[in-house]
Amino acid sequence: MKESARLSRAENKIVGLVPTMGALHAGHMALVERAKRDCTQVVTSIFVNPTQFGPKEDLAKYPRTFESDATKLESAGVDAIFAPQPADIYPPNFRTYVNVEGLSDRLEGRSRPGHFRGVATVVLKLFEIVQPTYAYFGRKDAQQVRIITQMARDLNLNVEIVICPIVREPDGLALSSRNVYLNPDERKAALVLHRALTAARDELASGTRDALSIQSTIQKTFAAEPLATLDYAELVDADTFEPVTRVSRPCYILLAVHIGKTRLIDNLYLEPSSANPDVFDFHL
Amino acid sequence: MKESARLSRAENKIVGLVPTMGALHAGHMALVERAKRDCTQVVTSIFVNPTQFGPKEDLAKYPRTFESDATKLESAGVDAIFAPQPADIYPPNFRTYVNVEGLSDRLEGRSRPGHFRGVATVVLKLFEIVQPTYAYFGRKDAQQVRIITQMARDLNLNVEIVICPIVREPDGLALSSRNVYLNPDERKAALVLHRALTAARDELASGTRDALSIQSTIQKTFAAEPLATLDYAELVDADTFEPVTRVSRPCYILLAVHIGKTRLIDNLYLEPSSANPDVFDFHL
């Protein structure tokens, strides 16, 4: 992969990297399509990164579907698949980690200690190996995207991070490789995330700016869904990921939920409209 | 600097980076000369990196001699000096750090908490900005060199680390920008480091392999020098930097010493001779 990257650089190719853990869905493929539009060479990495899983998490059972992933990527015109083994990425005596301090301790980082240390480290390694001009990430993992953007800025990385919208099922469920864990009842119950976010959006659109009021709406929505257990529902500043009490600048409403044994996340991104800052643009 | 690096890459230049904190002496200049031999473009960075100094260390009084440094580098044929300000390297809200775990906690890392986190982070940033083919470091900072080599391997960095020998004054004192802190009495006392290392070398050459015996020799040498306070004197494996009890593979004897208020380090690197593994080659 490094030799291929070196050649691509020598040929002045515009290289796009789409880092994935495989089990590809339409969300991943939207990243690939965007990369195909921007770049002259598109690389997709498939690597279920052990260092971003906690000891009690689903590393062993995380879906691995390499053959069908490869078929999808080939159809989409990807130029290369980089699919290393764990021992390639973490050889014996591996001990260097990247920490985006502060941003990594809250929300997902609090529920999943060490998660973002693993994410930042593997993403930096993928950048060094593939040497992309652009790298593509989905906004569903909002905090991950924020941390990677911060890392790229802080470490002067020679890559531009491109953030792409969430892709949803027709009924509103955000696409996730973990959706395959859901049984039919849980699949129905999982719609509660989208329902809570749309309720919050409607309340914001009707003029509410108070974070507590919006959180109360979200909590009521979850209370009506017995299969769902809320991990967190937070309204945070889109830059600092610190809680806000009043919505007046770019923000996220972030949800993390257990549906049975499956943990799902989703979010709503909102920013003051450029035409009228009293009105919000919503990205759901 | 990034734009210059981009052009150098496009022109297929072999770029050598010599990272320094300025206050250049013949040890730095030996790195530059080696880089001049290997590379078609040599960049020297001058940056007194605040994140590698502890709160009670000598950041404020560290010697800053930019004009004479620049003159020396120009005479040596360096192509570019990269001399950023702290706010360029650590802009507001900077929060991403690299940790080479384990290796960073011992010896220098124990005496100087956070030191190697600062070193690894700034060196990675310099690599990303300058994008060198080769980067040159002196073996005087043995643990630093080991940590940077580990970081480059673990993070798949696109740079080769070149380690250069210690340069000494005619009387044996290892060159250091901190030697200017020494008054005439301390300057004489500072020779105790070289005296201890040569005594250890002589003992090893005469067949001793027991680490305790060699440490005892070193401690006796220091006991005879009232102006010196030993911080540590350790015989460690050159790969793991863990203490060894018996010398049988590549090792360092590492010294850290206070002479008055000035902290100095020095070391002896020894490895089994390729011709006869019962005999050591010594690098002092």
Could you give the C-alpha distances from A215 to A107, A209, A246, A255, B76, in angstroms and in order?
A: 15, 11, 11, 11, 65
Give the chain B residue whose CA is nearest to the CA of A103: B95
Residues B79 and B184 in one domain: no
Same domain for B138 and B76: yes
Q: What is the pLDDT of residues A118-146, one digit of tens each?
A: 999 999 999 999 999 999 999 999 999 99
Residue after which a domain boundary falls, among A109, A136, A164: A164
- Whether B135 and B216 share a structural domain: no
Regarding whether A79 and A155 lie in a shared domain, the answer is: yes
Q: Is residue B133 situated within a structural domain?
A: yes
CB–CB contact A96 B157 (8 Å): no
Task: List pLDDT tens digits, range B64-109.
Answer: 999 999 999 999 999 999 999 999 999 999 999 999 999 999 999 9
Parent domain of B253: 177-283
With beta carbons less than 8 A apart as the criterion, state whether B39 and B23 touch. no
Residue A133 shares a structural domain with residue A69: yes
Domain count, chain B: 2
Interface of B with A in 111-140 (CB under 8 A): 120-121, 124-125, 128-129, 131
Is residue A170 a part of any domain in this protein?
no
Query: Does residue B105 sit in the same domain as residue B207?
Result: no
Assign residue B194 the CATH number of its domain: 3.30.1300.10
Residue B171 lies in a domain: no
Same domain, A121 and A185: no
Specify whether A208 is located in the same domain as A137: no
Would residue B238 count as lying in a domain?
Answer: yes
Q: Looking at the structure, do residues B138 and B188 belong to the same domain, yes or no? A: no
User: What ipTM, to 2 d.p.?
Assistant: 0.96
Of A120, A125, A155, the CB nearest to B128: A155
**Domain end: B130, B164, B198, which one?**
B164
Average pLDDT on A109-119 reads 97
Residues of B in contact with A151 (CB under 8 A): 96
**DSSP per-residue string spanning B180-211:** GG--HHHHHHTHHHHHHHHHHHHHHHTT--BH
Judge if B218 and B275 occupy the same domain: yes
Asked if the structure places residue B169 within a domain, the reply is no
Same-domain status, A151 and A215: no
CATH of the domain at A121: 3.40.50.620
Which of A125, A143, A164 is a domain's end point?
A164
Contacts of A245-253 with C-beta under 8 Å, sequence gap 24+, read A245/A210, A245/A211, A245/A212, A246/A209, A246/A210, A246/A211, A247/A204, A247/A209, A247/A210, A247/A211, A247/A214, A247/A280, A248/A209, A248/A272, A252/A142, A253/A197, A253/A200, A253/A214, A253/A218
Average pLDDT over residues B146-171: 98
Q: What is the mean pLDDT of chain A?
A: 97
Residues A69 and A140 in one domain: yes
Closest residue to A128, CB basis, from B100, B125, B157: B157
Measured CA to CA in angstroms, residue B212 lies from A177, B204, B209, B230, B282 at distances of 57, 12, 9, 16, 19
The model's confidence at residue B277, banded by pLDDT at 50, 70 and 90, is: confident
A273 Cβ contact partners less than 8 Å away, ≥ 6 residues apart: A279, A280, A281
Per-residue model confidence as pLDDT tens digits over A36-95: 999 999 999 999 999 999 999 999 999 999 999 999 999 999 999 999 999 999 999 999
What are the pLDDT digits (tens) for B20-57? 999 999 999 999 999 999 999 999 999 999 999 999 99
Query: Within a domain: residue A169?
Result: no
The size of chain A, in residues, is 284
Phi, psi dihedral angles at A246 (to 5 degrees): -135, 135
Longest dimension (CA), chain A: 58
